[in-house]
């Protein structure tokens, strides 16, 4: 299976670029496997391990497990240095980690800087759960007079307000309707 890990990693790289898995013949070329039987045996092992499957028209397709990433068994120190393992613990998908209710969850790209003091930067993707009940202190996407905004939900004198996390912006005190589109449950940032 050690070679299969390497083969899987190369197939994951291919999929990230092409958004499709290669044909059997292309797999042989990509992985340097000389015979069709070697390719078939490797594909069978990856199918058995649950990483890939075949579609009704016999094409290879990634399964949910294909997108798992290694999860290090020990956490990394944010203080003094500490040894870390090489990530050979359990595996985890980003979806499993961030998304509890897939049918009610959307990713929304952030535009603007009104939430920078909460660590939310322009270009970040916020993970929004639409079915979650919002409570005071939650970061929410709210709809105010037909406009969407990402702010912290707060309470002032018995009324809900939307508080930015940047002192350069004013608190929004809705005069009309205030609707909560969803609650932020995570954040994705590409460095």
Point out the catalytic residue in the list 35, 37, 151, 167. 151
Coil vs helix vs strand at 170: coil
Beta bridge partners of 81: none
Asked if 35 is an active-site residue, the reply is: no
Asked if 114 is an active-site residue, the reply is: yes
Range 121-149 burial, b when 16+ CB lie within 10 A, else e: eeebebbbbeebebeeebbbbbebeeeeb
Point out the catalytic residue in the list 38, 114, 135, 159. 114
Q: Look at strands 91-92 and 60-62 and give their pairing.
A: unpaired
CB 151 within 8 A of CB 142: yes
Give catalytic residues, as residue numbers: 114, 151
């Amino acid at each position: 299976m050690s070679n299969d890990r390497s083969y899987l990693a190369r197939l994951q790289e291919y999929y990230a670029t092409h958004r499709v898995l290669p044909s059997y013949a292309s797999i042989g070329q990509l992985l340097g496997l000389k015979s069709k039987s070697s390719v078939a045996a490797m594909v069978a092992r990856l199918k058995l391990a649950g990483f890939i499957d075949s579609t009704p028209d016999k094409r290879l397709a990634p399964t949910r497990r294909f997108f798992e990433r290694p999860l290090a068994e020990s956490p990394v120190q944010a203080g003094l240095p500490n040894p870390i393992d090489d990530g050979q613990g359990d595996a985890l998908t980003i979806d499993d980690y961030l998304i509890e209710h897939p049918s009610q969850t959307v990713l929304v790209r952030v535009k603007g800087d009104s939430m920078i003091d909460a660590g939310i930067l322009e270009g970040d993707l916020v993970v929004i759960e639409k079915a979650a009940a919002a409570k005071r202190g939650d970061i929410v996407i709210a709809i105010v007079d037909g406009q969407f905004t990402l702010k912290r939900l707060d309470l002032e004198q018995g009324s809900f307000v939307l508080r930015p996390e940047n002192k350069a912006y004013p608190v929004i005190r809705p005069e009309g309707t205030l609707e909560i589109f969803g609650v932020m449950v995570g954040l994705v940032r590409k460095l």
